Amino acid sequence: MRIYSFLTSSKRLLQLAGLLFTLSISYISEAQNDLSAKMSALLRDPVIQKSQIGISIRNTATGEIVYDYNGSKSFTPASNLKLLTTSAAINLLGSDYTFKTPLQYSGELINGNFKGMLKITGSGDPTMGSDKMPGNSSYTEMIRRWVSEIKKTGISTFSGKLIIDPLVYEYNPVPIDYTWGDIGNYYGAGSYGINLNENQYVITFKPGLNLGEPAEVMSMIPWDSSWTFLNHVYTGSASSGDKSVIFSSPYSPTIFAEGSIPMGNLFSVKGSLPDPAALLGILLIKEMQVQGINWNGQLVVLHDQNENFSSDKITWNTIYTEQSLPVSSIIKQTNTISNNLYAECLLKEFSTKKGVKPASTNTSINYLKKHLQSMGIDTSGMVIRDGSGMSPFNSISPNQLTLLLFKMSDKTVFVQSLPVAGRDGTVSHICKGTGEKVRLKSGTMNGTTCYSGYIKTDSGQVYSASFMINKHEAKNRTVQRALESAILAILHD
């Protein structure tokens, strides 16, 4: 009787399971049909009809793909690639991981005169001296603080060596595929072992009174007087916007700009520092003099791993350590405003965490790919050339991105690092008034517009979604509006 009862119960359970499975399949099929109808409007949009289009929508509760249009094809992701870098930063470095930059000295102080060595060892901290990072101090405040700590040792005359060591990262700070038109501008700044003020300087121009007149340079801050700036920037119409481009390369003292700025008020543009480690040393010396330390020393900036300097056998005493905010804060800023420098340094830090010195982009990409594979993500067809998405040769499929989003959906730190559409950063202009139901990472470059992230529908269903549009000729804002309509259609189920 007990056996019969068990079999009967089991049969009923099987019947119930079968019914639930049928209902589940029916629900998925209905959801797929509904999404297909909603996405067809996007696919018919003349703005993108001749473009390469990839869409993947995945049920975040089950991991099931509920809509796929070229989802397995590879596309240029632009800054959507930062989703890979920032998710791996949480898993490989840890949310509480910080960058630490020590100020150390070796040698004796005699009657206030220091003839030893003062060394600043870079940690690759991309936020160092940047008040653009919420909760951070500016580079001027930071340098004042450092010199104040140096003064506390009793130094009144510096006759020794000030050594700036950025060798934690490889000599070449720029990924190989960055374009020439990007490298000199702030968003194309290299990722060095020592970074300062996000490796940016600001040029303030005064436009001419008439169209076509040269624009006058009013100031360049921060700046190394040994650099040369060649100005070929002219005055454009009042409505022309910023049409200037800055050209420079790492470690080169020659910088030039061309193009135009709009007629009217003073106009500022941002360029990338060619050698932040050297600039840090110069600014430190200036601040020492401001705070009353007599400078008779020598500035030594290490650039080559083979330079004739070894500190291994020297006893160093730590004066002060500059510590960054945790990775959880850095990835939030990385994704919210799409900060390329932060992403590149986070990528290189994967090598540092493994004990590799100097850390390099290529070595870290290998660690990143292995990590993705360990998560169960097939990386075939995936091309990763940097950590930020600046390279036009990066490629990834929408299905790979939504699988990553699904795998990371239980990591609150990661999910909350994505900007809220209609409110934050690069997606503040779309999906306004939707609360926190849409969190997306944008990705844009010429001819490329992408959005990937999470959409919580009115009924409570959460989707991991990726929209990737390549090879379009429209303005990015026009394509973004088309994608916004598709996102809102999903949202209002």
Distance separating alpha carbons of residues 356 and 150, to the nearest angstrom = 31
DSSP assignments along 131-164, one per residue = TTSTT---HHHHHHHHHHHHHTTT-SEE-SEEEE
Order the strands of the 245-247 sheet from edge to edge: 228-236, 254-262, 245-247
Tokens of 13: 């359970």
pLDDT for the residue 22: 53
Neighbour tally for 25: CB within 10 Å: 10
Do residues 218 and 266 touch, judged by C-beta distance below 8 A?
yes
Q: Which DSSP letter does residue 354 get?
A: T
B/e letters for 260-291, b = 16+ CB within 10 Å, e = fewer, are bbbbeeebebebbbbbbbbbbbbbbbebbeee
- 3-state class of 221 per DSSP? strand
SS3 of residue 376 by DSSP: coil
Q: Strand ranges (DSSP E) for 142-227? A: 157-158, 161-165, 200-206, 216-221
ω into residue 222 within 30 of 0, thus cis? yes
Per-residue model confidence as pLDDT tens for the chain (493 residues): 333 333 345 556 555 555 555 544 444 555 667 899 989 999 999 999 999 999 999 999 999 999 999 999 999 999 999 999 999 999 999 999 999 999 999 999 999 999 999 999 999 999 999 999 999 999 999 999 999 999 999 999 999 999 999 999 999 999 999 999 999 999 999 999 999 999 999 999 999 999 999 999 999 999 999 999 999 999 999 999 999 999 999 999 999 999 999 999 999 999 999 999 999 999 999 999 999 999 999 999 998 865 656 667 899 999 999 999 999 999 999 999 999 999 999 999 999 999 999 999 999 999 999 999 999 999 999 999 999 999 999 999 999 999 999 999 999 999 999 999 999 999 999 999 999 999 999 999 999 999 999 999 999 999 999 999 999 999 999 999 999 999 999 999 8
Rounded distance between C-alpha atoms, residue 207 and residue 211, angstroms: 9
Sign of CA dihedral 147, 219, 199, 167: negative
pLDDT at res. 493: 87
d(CA 132, CA 19): 56
Answer for the pair 127, 276: CB distance below 8 angstroms, yes or no: no
Instruction: Return all residues near 124 (Cβ < 8 A) that are at least 6 apart.
Output: 99, 168, 169, 191, 192, 193, 194, 195, 345, 348, 349, 352, 359
Identify the CA nearest to 55 among candidates 41, 70, 65: 70
Residue 90, phi-psi category: left (phi > 0), alpha (psi -120 to 50), beta (remainder): alpha
Q: List the one residue out of 77, 79, 48, 75 whose CA is nearest residue 473.
A: 48
- State how far the Cα of 61 lies from the Cα of 19, in Å rounded to an integer: 20
Tokens of 417: 């690092």
Residues 120, 123, 125, 128, Cα dihedral to 10°:
-10
CA atoms within 13 A on the CB side of 313: 2
Domains and CATH numbers, the chain: 36-94+329-491 (3.40.710.10), 100-323 (3.50.80.20)
Count CA within 13 A, CB hemisphere, residue 85. 38
Where do the DSSP E strands lie in 324-447? 438-445
pLDDT at 309: 67
**In the block, which residue shows the tokens 């340079």?**
217
3-state per-residue secondary structure call for 395-422: EECHHHHHHHHHHCCCCHHHHCCCCECC
CA angle 254, 174, 387 (to 5 degrees): 150
Torsion (CA) 233, 237, 239, 241 in degrees, nearest 10? -10
What single-letter amino acid sits at 145? R
pLDDT at 313: 83
